Amino acid sequence: MLQQVNGHSPDSDAQSGKSHREDLREFLGREAPLHQLDDLTKVNPVTLETVLRCLQARYMADTFYTNAGCTLVALNPFKPVPHLYLPELMREYHAAPQPQKLKPHVFSVGEQTYRNVKSLIEPVNQSIVVSGESGAGKTWTSRCLMKFYAVVAASPTSWESHKIAERIEQRILHSNPVMEAFGNACTLRNNNSSRFGKFIQLQLNRAQQMTGAAVQTYLLEKTRVAYQASNERNFHIFYQICKGASEDERLQWHLPKGAAFSWLPNPERTLEEDCFEVTREAMIHLGINAPTQNNIFKVLAGLLHLGNIQFADSEDEAQPCQLMDNAKCSVRTSALLLQLPEDMLLETLRIRTIRAGRQQQVFRKPCSRTECDTRRDCVAKLVYARLFDWLVSVINSRICADPGSWTTFIGLLDVYGFESFPDNSLEQLCINYANEKLQQHFVAHYLRAQQEEYTVEGLEWSFVNYQDNQACLDLIEGSPISICALINEECRLNRPSSAAQLQTRIESALAGNPCLGDNKLSPEPSFIVVHYAGPVRYHTAGLVEKNKDPVPPELTILLQQSQDPLLAVLFPVNPKEKTQEEPSGQSRAPVLTVVSKFKASLEQLLQVLHSTTPHYIRCIKPNSQGQAQTFLQDEVLSQLEACGLVETIHISAAGFPIRVSHQNFVERYELLRRLRPRTFSGPGRCSERSPNGKEATLQPLLQDILHTLPALTQAAATPGDSDEATPAPVHCGRTKVFMTDSVLEVLECGRAQVLEQCARCIQGSWRRYQHLKQQRQRRAAVLIQAAIRSWLARKHIARLHTAATTIKRAWQKWRIRMAFLASKELDGIEEEHFSQAPRSSSSSPQPPIQTRLLGAIIRLWPLGLVLANAATGIQGFQRKLVVWACLQLPRDSPRGYTVQIAQQDQAGVTSIRALPQGSIKFHYRKSPLRYADMCPEPSPYSVTGFNQILLERHRLIHV
């Protein structure tokens, strides 16, 4: 029974088909927002049709990446999209706090794997499995991932390490063009189809910097060198040297323009991959110099000329086959380019050496035309396979780091996609067998492991039915009887193989397997295998011979006689080395077949994948014609069914993709207990179990944290949205907490809220502390300033007091002296004045000048005394009044005055000894300046102290 997904149960289709169709029609009618669904788990309901329509809407909107739970679905755009792979976009995904929040992209998968290595205390190796049919874009995806890691994982700290990282980055990136030129070809489904599998190991040091890489290859389709299907091409490198060679190189390699080669079909077709200069430049970066490159291309040209050697049937079986017309020139040119003896080359291709008997007698037998063609093709396949392996070893020697310099790796697996052609042989059987193994790895890792984990953890889970391909694998590789076992047995028997007999054995021995299809109507001997991606018909003709992959020893001896430096490296002369074609004595040990070698390498690869944390990218081909903006629903639908994508979406949407151990969950979300309400009725529940030890101590903490979910969900819900306010599902297993993405988002929001509150609390306390500290500092500064000012004021006042005391003493002395002198002078003048008789002013004559001077002195001395004691603020009009009052000058005319003497009835100064009748005081206004009175400075014109002038009032007597 399928788990209910987003409120819809797929099993309810039979019971409520009408409502389901209405929901589906309503969903399919809303095509406008489909391109905005960046995750297929959000599609409701999850069916093949709805997923198909969502992918189509996104593809037509030029959105080529979509998440499907743990898998990234990549649609091949079949057109250049440079803005999707810019270095700036790589850095954006690398610097994003949460790359999963960005749009789905191959860079998000790359960043996730890189952070998994970087964030763990004990890093776990990561792997990315890029799968899909041929032409779906697996090679391009792997190339983009390599560029991404070359950018983000090469961050040196010094100039020297920067140069090292840059050199490694360039070597890794330049290994792609070389391997694609020698290992890719144009097929019916893809212009750049990988005809080999490769696992690229990107090596990282403890600082997560890329220090090197290693490449491991699987099952090169070397038969393509000598045989190409209709409308297909040979490997890219042959077309590159024929189209990109210079005139001198054409003369040197004997490749004239317009030359026809039987192993070079469709030469007029020009592809983007036919760029010779890119391959040569990449080889230079990998350390393959120009002479070595010239040697490689010369050998490849020799193989092309070798393919033009055609044989004719011999009339006499005892005589070797004759050459066809123009074949002699091809033999001569091929021998010249491969630096082989021409006679020895021709003899080896036409005459077979047989060893028989106990004494290993040697017999020479002429070969038939078919055998000659087979031996010719065997030479080409053997040379090209050895050359390809040598190139891989050179690349590894240039890019691989020392074992002690790296600790972890990120693996990129790019294998040939599932293939089904009209004529399928051993190559397609091995390719589809590898895809079956990878599909089983995906099923075991995600689909099956996820459901089994729910059961172990005690969760209430309704299992999702998924397609298990174990039966197909048992058919292909099972023990003791399987297709591979029967083919290897035919090779071990070393007898002439019959296609019909092999078909009969397979059908009779494996008749009970449900994955073996019915093949009664086939006109040719063949068998059908029902793969996870669909049924494929395999022809049994030539299957055993291809599995043997025989290499006659005389062909190896021939190539060891070559004077070419490269062939001397590829075929060293080592008598101690025994090949599989030269068994020792009567030993009947089975030779190592192609299937056996491929199965062993595939098992080794799967062991590496099982030891890593895998990530999956499913490449989908929108159409088989390679046309942009063309989405063929039938073709895409078959691919969705084949890769098990719908089952993946079902489990991802219905299950709990987020799982955290109890300890880690408590450590991260324990602070949410601050938000725990007093009452609780939430969804989180723990499975029934009897915890002990550490788990028992974690249970109260887990319950307290889960109790906060209702309040957090209510706070996160928008007003009027009842669906958002309902608690999201979360389950507490025996050792882990299972939750959905929505629950994780709610918990993270609550955690951010608590952290924000704590931050505000800390900031408030810090600000209060800083405010109090500033206040204390201001108060201390004020006290210090007041103390300094008080000390300065006291010091100044003391100085002023000392000066005032000195002035006071001096003034007192001066006043006594002046009083004495004044008394003495006034007493003398008074006596002289009163001794003279008074006269009338009108009748008496003018007094002499001495008398007038004496009278003026007598009158003016109070003026000097007054002016000397007057305050400095008395100026202007007030000062004049004082002068006029003392002089008693008439105001009418300045000259009309008379000198009066003091009489008995007049006011005047008669004696300073007179009793005081009043006092004269001078006042001044306080200055408006603030500090004028605080620190007064002595002035030479100011008079300190008080003077009182005591005068007796008498009436003035006019003289």
In the 3-class helix/strand/coil scheme, how is 183-205 assigned residue by residue?
HEECCCCCCCEECCEEEEEEEEC
pTM (global) more than 0.75:
no
**What pLDDT is attached to residue 727?**
47
Burial class (CB within 10 angstroms; exposed 0-12, middle 13-18, buried 19+) of 704: middle
> Virtual CA dihedral for 293, 298, 299, 301, nearest 10 degrees?
130
pLDDT digits (tens, 9 = 90+) for 519-554: 777 888 999 999 988 899 999 998 888 888 888 889
What's the start-to-end Cα distance of the chain, in Å?
149
Model confidence at 847: pLDDT above 50: yes
**CA atoms in the 13 A half-sphere facing the CB of 152:** 27
Predicted local confidence at residue 540, as pLDDT = 92
| Dist. CA 412–CA 409, nearest whole Å | 10
For residue 437, say whether it is annotated as part of any ligand binding site: no
CA distance 27 to 33: 10
Q: Is the pLDDT of residue 245 over 70?
A: yes
Give the separation between CA 434 and CA 411, rounded to whole angstroms. Answer: 17
Q: What percent of the chain is predicted at pLDDT more than 70?
A: 73
Residue 694 among known ligand-binding residues: no
Which candidate, 329, 325, 302, 307, places its Cα nearest to that of 261? 307
The pLDDT, as a whole number, for residue 27 is 40
Across 177-204, average pLDDT = 88
Predicted confidence at residue 642, as pLDDT, reads 72
Question: What is the rounded distance in angstroms from the CA atom of residue 859 to the CA atom of residue 880?
Answer: 16
| C-alpha of 396 from chain center | 27
132, exposed or middle or buried, with CB in 10 Å at 0-12, 13-18, 19+?
buried
Residue carrying structure tokens 């979406």:
649
DSSP strand pairing (658-661 vs 184-185): unpaired
Cα 677 to Cα 22, 662, 703, distances in angstroms = 42, 22, 12
- Tell me: is residue 138 an annotated ligand-binding position: yes
The confidence score (pLDDT) of residue 461 equals: 72
Per-residue pLDDT band at 156 (split at 50, 70, 90): low
Q: Would you state the pLDDT for residue 139?
A: 83
Strand arrangement, sheet containing 526-531: 516-517, 526-531, 534-539
- Mean pLDDT over 915-932 rounds to 52
Residue 756's φ and ψ, nearest 5 degrees, are -65, -40
pLDDT higher than 90, residue 242: yes
How much is the average pLDDT of 886-892? 51
| Contact between residue 535 and residue 523 where contact means Cβ atoms under 8 Å apart | no
Distance CA 10, CA 188 (A): 38
Q: Coil, strand or helix: which one is 466?
A: coil
> Residue 432, exposed/middle/buried by CB under 10 A (0-12, 13-18, 19+)?
buried
pLDDT tens profile 251-298: 999 999 888 999 999 888 888 888 999 999 999 988 899 999 999 999
Least confident piece of the model among 461-475, 846-860, 888-902:
888-902
Torsion region of 685: left, alpha or beta (phi above 0 gives left; psi -120 to 50 gives alpha): beta
What token pair was written down for 148? Answer: 């991404």
Task: Compute the distance between CA of residue 211 and CA of residue 549 in angstroms, rounded to an integer.
Answer: 38
User: What is the pLDDT averaged over residues 807-811?
Assistant: 89
Q: Write the CB contacts of 674 (distance below 8 Å, at least 6 apart in sequence).
A: 754, 757
User: Which 3 state secondary structure label does DSSP give 860?
Assistant: helix
Per the document, the length of the chain is 959
Percentage of residues of the chain with pLDDT beyond 90? 30
User: Residue 441 in contact with residue 128, Cβ under 8 Å?
Assistant: no
Measured between alpha carbons, how far is 882 from 854 in angstroms, rounded to an integer?
21
CA atoms within 13 A on the CB side of 370: 1
Output the pLDDT for position 382.
94
DSSP string of 218-272? E---GGGGT---TT---BHHHHHHHHH--HHHHHHHT--TT---TT---TT---T
Alpha carbons 715 and 737: distance in angstroms, whole number: 22
133 is in an annotated binding site: yes
Residue 574, helix vs strand vs coil = coil
Does the pLDDT of residue 658 top 70, yes or no?
A: yes
- Residue 139 assigned as binding residue: yes
The annotation status of 132 as a binding-site residue, yes or no, is yes
Helix (H) or strand (E) holding 641: helix 633-642
How many Cα atoms within 13 Å fall on the side-chain side of residue 142? 31
Does the pLDDT value for residue 506 go beyond 60?
Answer: yes
Assess whether pLDDT exceeds 70 at residue 668. yes
Angle at 537 between CA 601 and CA 503, to 5 degrees: 85
Residue 874 in contact with residue 922, Cβ under 8 Å? Answer: yes
Q: What is the pLDDT of residue 848?
A: 61
Q: What mean pLDDT do residues 375-389 have?
A: 94
Question: Amino acid identity, residue 8?
Answer: H
137 marked as part of a ligand binding site: yes
Give residue-wise pLDDT tens across range 46-93.
Answer: 777 888 889 999 999 899 999 988 889 999 999 999 899 998 999 999
pLDDT of residue 953: 39
More confident residue, 8 or 263: 263
Closest-CA residue to 446 (of 434, 435, 438): 438
| Mean pLDDT for the stretch of residues 868-874 | 53
Annotated binding residue 135: yes
pLDDT at residue 874 in the model: 53
pLDDT band at 335 (very low <50, low <70, confident <90, very high): very high
Q: Quick one: three-class SS letters along 9-78?
A: CHHHHCCCHHHHHHHHHHHHHCCHHHHHCCEHHHCCCCCHHHHHHHHHHHHHCCCCEEEECCEEEEECCC
- For residue 225, count CB atoms less than 10 angstroms from its CB and return exposed for 0-12, middle for 13-18, buried for 19 or more: buried
Task: Inform me whether the pLDDT recorded for 125 exceeds 60.
Answer: yes
Q: Which of 585, 146, 558 is nearest to 383 (CA)?
A: 558
Q: Which residue has the higher pLDDT, 618 or 44?
A: 618
Reported for 631-638, long-range contacts at CB under 8 A and 24+ positions apart, including other chains, are 631/55, 631/56, 631/59, 631/60, 633/52, 633/56, 636/52, 636/55, 636/56, 637/48, 637/52, 638/533, 638/534
Return the percent helix, strand and coil in the chain, to nearest 5. Answer: 50, 10, 35
Judge contact between 128 and 113, C-beta under 8 A: yes
Per the listing, tokens 């590159």 go with 240
What is the model's pLDDT at position 6? 38
What would the pLDDT profile of 567-596 be if each residue is shown by its tens digit?
999 999 875 444 444 444 444 445 678 899
Mean pLDDT, residues 383-388: 96
The Cα-based distances of 502 to 159, 257, 516, 593 in angstroms read 64, 46, 14, 17
Mean pLDDT of the region 868-892: 55
As given in the structure block, the two tokens for residue 390 are 């040598």
Residues 6+ apart with CB under 8 A from 752: none
Contact criterion met (CB below 8 Å) for 142 and 83: no
Give yes or no for residue 662 having a pLDDT over 90. Answer: no
- Could you count the other beta carbons within 10 Å of the beta carbon of residue 515? 20
Half-sphere exposure of 560 (CA within 13 A, CB side): 11
pLDDT at position 856 is 62
Residue listed under structure tokens 């990315």: 128
